[in-house]
Amino acid sequence: MVRGEKREVDFLKIGIYAFLFLASLPIFLGFLWLFIGSVSKSLTYGIIPEGLSLRNWRFLWKIPYPGYPDVWLTLLNTLFLAFGVMIIVVAVSTMAGYVISRMKFPGRSFLLASTLILHAFPAITLLIGLYYVLRVLNLLDSVMGVILAKAGLFIPFAIWIMKGFFDGVSWDMEMSALIDGASRFQVFRKIMLPMVGPGIAGISIFAFITGWSEFIFVITFIRKPSAWTLTSYVNSIIGDFRFVDFGLLAAISLFYVIPVLLFFIFTQKYLMQITVGGLKGGR
């Protein structure tokens, strides 16, 4: 009787694994194809390689089609975008998050409420207004413009997250430091910053990937090839050779996604924390 039940549970588990595996198959195969497709002469059955070749990676040393910029310049732009967003977001949100979480001042609850409402607001709807603002500031067609806009829209969310991390530091810690002789600013620098390290790490990675992967802002605000990011590059190839040059598409896509994959594998814990933390509604 007991053994029978045990076996039933095992069947259930096997079923669950099978289901999860099958459901995840498009994701597995998709990324697998990026690898295989990028280094194969051709593919049969969509994914079985026939002969190795680096031809698909030719974009690394020469411009694949006329009118495309040097991919290394594009990579530089993409890195600039990702680091730019990251640095601004982390610096601004850490400072503001601390003040909103821990300090008492007039207008605090208004600021807190605004952050709360804005962090959930779908910023993408502001695209047209943003376009106008960037145009006035003469920031269209420049990576800087995208950095500032992206950072600006990301900041309320990041402040909210950082506030949450600061909230999590025990008040005893801060009180103790004050009694030990620190000023409020010293407390921030020497005690609080190290204590919210995981939050800063999470926000950094999150902001980096968000900037690195940005799509709508890039294709809307940047047209000239010298300011392209990898998104514009891949998007153009999709537009020009939609179902034709899959080898090139796979190679450049893989080139683009590798940093994300690395981040993802090694820092998933932090990303998960931020995803949950950002949506900690109604607890």
Decide if residue 253 touches another protein (CB under 8 A). Answer: yes
Of 224, 222, 234, give the one whose Cα is nearest residue 148.
222
Interaction with another protein in 70-129: which residues (CB under 8 A)? 88, 91-93, 95-96, 98-105, 108-109, 111-114, 116-118, 120-129
Burial per residue of 210-244, b for 16 or more beta-carbon CB atoms within 10 angstroms, e otherwise: bbbbbeebbbbbbeeeebbbbbbbbebbeeeeeee
Which stretch in 51-59, 60-68, 69-77, 262-270 sits in contact with another protein by CB under 8 A?
262-270
Decide if residue 4 touches another protein (CB under 8 A). Answer: no
Supply the minimum distance, in Å, between the C-beta of residue 60 and another protein.
17
Decide if residue 220 touches another protein (CB under 8 A). Answer: yes
Decide if residue 281 touches another protein (CB under 8 A). Answer: yes
Supply the minimum distance, in Å, between the C-beta of residue 56 and another protein.
13
Contacting another protein (CB under 8 A), which of 3, 6, 13, 62? Answer: 13
Supply the minimum distance, in Å, between the C-beta of residue 131 and another protein.
8
Alpha helices in the chain (DSSP H): 2-38, 71-102, 108-119, 127-136, 143-168, 171-179, 184-186, 193-195, 197-213, 216-221, 230-240, 246-278
Distance CA(275)–CA(203), nearest Å, equals 10
Which stretch in 57-65, 69-77, 240-248 sits in contact with another protein by CB under 8 A?
240-248
Distance CA(60)–CA(30), nearest Å, equals 22
Interaction with another protein in 129-148: which residues (CB under 8 A)? 129-133, 135, 148
Burial class from Cβ neighbours inside 10 Å (0-12, 13-18, 19+) for residue 79 reads middle
Which stretch in 56-64, 67-75, 206-214 sits in contact with another protein by CB under 8 A?
206-214
Decide if residue 35 touches another protein (CB under 8 A). Answer: no
Distance CA(18)–CA(94), nearest Å, equals 43
Decide if residue 55 touches another protein (CB under 8 A). Answer: no
Q: In 3-state terms, what secondary structure has residue 212?
A: helix
Report the residue number, 86 or 130, with the smaller CB distance to another protein. Answer: 130
Decide if residue 249 touches another protein (CB under 8 A). Answer: yes
